[in-house]
């Protein structure tokens, strides 16, 4: 993976998240599609404001930077700090404003930060939070496939421990590292397309948007306009499409909230090579 491909994946996550936030929990948009940053929705989002997807990705990246390696305890502490104070998000000083139930239950279950893995193994806890935030694991390990997959699964297990979460996290990590849909995972994409919060649906929906369009922007627009969990499907689609196509819309990067912080963090996790 080249640095440019890593850069595309990073910005793609935040752009897809921010474009999707105002459309979260809406019905599929069969009229004029939303094609850029908007505002409002259930979270009263400002233009360019990202949600839990981006905030948790920043929390992971910060842990890599501070520790110089993967450290589950540091990542989980960062997650808890985000939940309680909004750090890493767009509304610091406020508790996390878009946190999934599976994630919140897992973070509140932590009793010893040195034993941070609290993800439920129950099938009904197979939410998409495990795959929405994994770009830093791929970028940090862009020259090491086994570490990219292993650490992506490890970050997932902090909050999501079901078989489906492990399966889809490993598949997406592998494909993001390779930069393409891999045939051994085609069966995971063989399902009805919708934007639910179930990890399998999000994975299939994101890949559908990438595989049926021909550019980063078109893929994200297709994904978010299906509504429902539009921010997370947008974030996952953005990661894939950013990795595959790169980001040519400089205006979208410039329109993101906390752009300078995102840029500095990206530069640190990429390093000097």
State the pLDDT at residue 250: 83
Q: Give the residue among 128, 215, 200, 210 at the shortest CA–CA distance from 176.
A: 210
Distances (CA, A) of 50 to 107, 179, 191: 20, 24, 28
Residues 251, 48: contact at Cβ < 8 Å? no
What residues contact 89, with CB distance under 8 A and at least 6 apart? Answer: 50, 51, 52, 54, 55, 58, 82, 96, 97
Residues 199, 130: contact at Cβ < 8 Å? yes
Query: What's the pTM?
Result: 0.97
| Residue 81 to residue 37: CA distance in whole angstroms | 27
Q: Is 110 left (phi over 0), alpha (psi -120 to 50) or beta?
A: beta
Using N-to-C axis directions, what is the helix angle for 199-211 and 216-224, rounded to 10°? 140
State the pLDDT at residue 31: 83
State the pLDDT at residue 252: 94
Q: Which CATH class is domain 3-270?
A: mainly alpha
Which positions of the chain have pLDDT values less than 50? Answer: 272
| Residue 204 to residue 31: CA distance in whole angstroms | 23
State the pLDDT at residue 273: 54
């Amino acid at each position: 993976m080249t640095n440019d491909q890593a850069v595309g994946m990073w910005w793609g996550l935040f752009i897809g998240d921010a474009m999707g936030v105002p459309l979260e929990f809406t019905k599929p948009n069969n009229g004029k599609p939303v094609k850029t940053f908007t505002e409002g929705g259930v979270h009263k989002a400002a233009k360019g404001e990202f949600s839990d997807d981006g905030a948790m990705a920043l929390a992971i990246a910060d842990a890599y930077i501070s520790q110089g390696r993967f450290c589950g305890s540091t990542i989980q502490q960062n997650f808890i700090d985000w939940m309680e104070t909004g750090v890493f998000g767009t509304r610091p000083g406020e508790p996390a404003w878009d946190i999934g139930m599976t994630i919140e239950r897992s973070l509140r279950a932590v009793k010893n930060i040195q034993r941070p893995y609290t993800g439920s193994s129950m099938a009904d806890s197979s939410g998409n939070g495990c795959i929405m935030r994994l770009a830093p694991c791929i970028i940090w390990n862009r020259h090491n496939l086994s570490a990219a997959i292993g650490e992506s699964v490890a970050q997932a297990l902090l909050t999501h421990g079901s078989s489906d979460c492990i399966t889809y996290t490993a598949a997406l990590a592998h494909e993001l590292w390779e930069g393409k849909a891999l045939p051994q995972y085609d069966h995971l994409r063989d399902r009805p397309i919708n934007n639910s919060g179930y990890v399998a649906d999000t994975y299939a929906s994101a890949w559908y948007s990438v595989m049926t369009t021909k550019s980063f922007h078109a893929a994200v627009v297709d994904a978010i306009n299906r509504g429902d969990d539009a921010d997370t499907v947008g974030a996952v689609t953005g990661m894939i499409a950013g990795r595959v196509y790169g980001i040519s819309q400089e205006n979208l990067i410039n329109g993101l909230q906390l752009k300078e912080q995102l840029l500095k963090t990206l530069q640190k996790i990429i390093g000097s090579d």
